[in-house]
Amino acid sequence: MTNRKIVVALGGNAILAHDASAQAQQQALLATAKYLVEFIKQGDQLIISHGNGPQVGNLLLQQAAGASEQNPPMPLDTAVAMTQGSIGYWMQNAMAEVIAENGLEVDVASVVTQVEVSADDPAFKHPTKPIGPFYTKAAVDELKVAHPEQQFVEDAGRGYRRVVASPRPIGVKEAGVVNQLVKAGIVPISVGGGGVPVVREGNRLVGREAVIDKDFASEKLAELVGADLLIILTAVDHIFVNFNQPTQQRLTQVSVSDLKRYIAEDQFAKGSMLPKVEAAIQFVEHRPAGQAVVTSLENIGEFLATGSGTVISADVRDATRPDDELTTTTHD
């Protein structure tokens, strides 16, 4: 039994690959739950987080399509809370089924989570977070005329998407509640969709129209609950240098200083791998005894058996080496 406290962040493919129907997303989460239950079987204390980019964008479109004066569309902070509810419901339902199949007795509960951001965060003036479906250039040109207030960007060669503000998390209101649930042996689902963005005004937390990056929100939660591990699950088993080039090499063990050097070399795509790398660095800098891992759902078994995946650790000085020499990256 390992009994580590682990925050595991689920990437897009764990919930929505191509089919945005409720049934397809529930099916995907059932497959995801079969991987996650392995941690519980090992005795680890799990905290689950997830993204919501496609879902919250789709929800805004559904809201706009049915809107009237009597039935106004909800603002983005409320839409984020709605996706925390829907995805949380699917996830806890799927986890309960798989937990029962494995003869375990563990409860899973979603926590509607508010994540504090700064009202002055420059991100409010520079939208960068892609949400909802992909569009062609022609479709975007039409949308810009109909909705001059909305902004769109080309997303990694896959088409155009609407972008919204994505401020950095500075606190998680329900972190204490999440910790209480973990202590009670319950698996919490928290900071879904990066958490509902709120700013503090005295005793009030006031919602803001934004979508926080779930990797940064998961990192903040992992810091605040004192996690041993932050595991970021995505579509690739490892982080690569020279990604998608003939010279690509996967990173197995990597130190913070080496990762910072790779960032300076522009090795990680903005909006996809870069936030994961930055979140991993932030976590191990705050908790030097902890580790961050980037890998895929499908590789969880291998990770648990052999440590396979990209494991990011704080720079550790080795007494047998000169003072300024740090642990270095291993490739294979």
Ligand X SMILES: NC(=O)OP(=O)(O)O
Which residues are near ligand ADP by CB under 6 A? Answer: 11-13, 51, 234-236, 239-240, 243, 267-269, 272-273
276 classed as catalytic: yes
Alpha-carbon torsion 48, 104, 101, 81, what sign? negative
Within 8 A by CB and 6+ apart from 240, the residues are 248, 249, 250, 251
Give the one entry of ligand X, ligand ADP, none that residue 268 binds, where binding means its C-beta sits below a cut-off of 5 to 8 angstroms depending on kind: ligand ADP
Residue 173, H or E segment = none
Nearest to ligand ADP of 182, 253 (CB atom): 253
5 classed as catalytic: no
Q: Give CA–CA dist 59/73, Å, rounded.
A: 10
Give the one entry of ligand ADP, ligand X, none that residue 7 binds, where binding means its C-beta sits below a cut-off of 5 to 8 angstroms depending on kind: none
12 classed as catalytic: yes
71 classed as catalytic: no
Give the one entry of ligand ADP, ligand X, none that residue 52 binds, where binding means its C-beta sits below a cut-off of 5 to 8 angstroms depending on kind: ligand X
Give the one entry of ligand ADP, ligand X, none that residue 239 binds, where binding means its C-beta sits below a cut-off of 5 to 8 angstroms depending on kind: ligand ADP
Inter-residue contact 303 to 234 (CB < 8 Å): no
Q: Give CA–CA dist 151/132, Å, rounded.
A: 12
129 classed as catalytic: yes
Nearest to ligand ADP of 187, 273 (CB atom): 273
Within 8 A by CB and 6+ apart from 19, the residues are 25
Q: Give CA–CA dist 109/124, Å, rounded.
A: 31
Q: Give CA–CA dist 214/272, Å, rounded.
A: 11
Assess 132 for contact with ligand X (CB under 6 A).
no
Q: Which residue is nearest to ligand X, using beta carbons? A: 51
Binding range to ligand X, per CB under 6 A, among 28-36, 46-54, 68-76, 86-94: 46-54
Of 189-208, binders to ligand X (CB under 6 A) are 193-194
Inter-residue contact 187 to 178 (CB < 8 Å): no
**6, 7, 12, 292: which one binds ligand X (CB under 6 A):** 12
Inter-residue contact 5 to 227 (CB < 8 Å): yes
Active site residues: 12-13, 129, 214, 276
- For ligand X, the binding residues (CB under 6 A) are 12, 51-53, 193-194, 211, 213-214
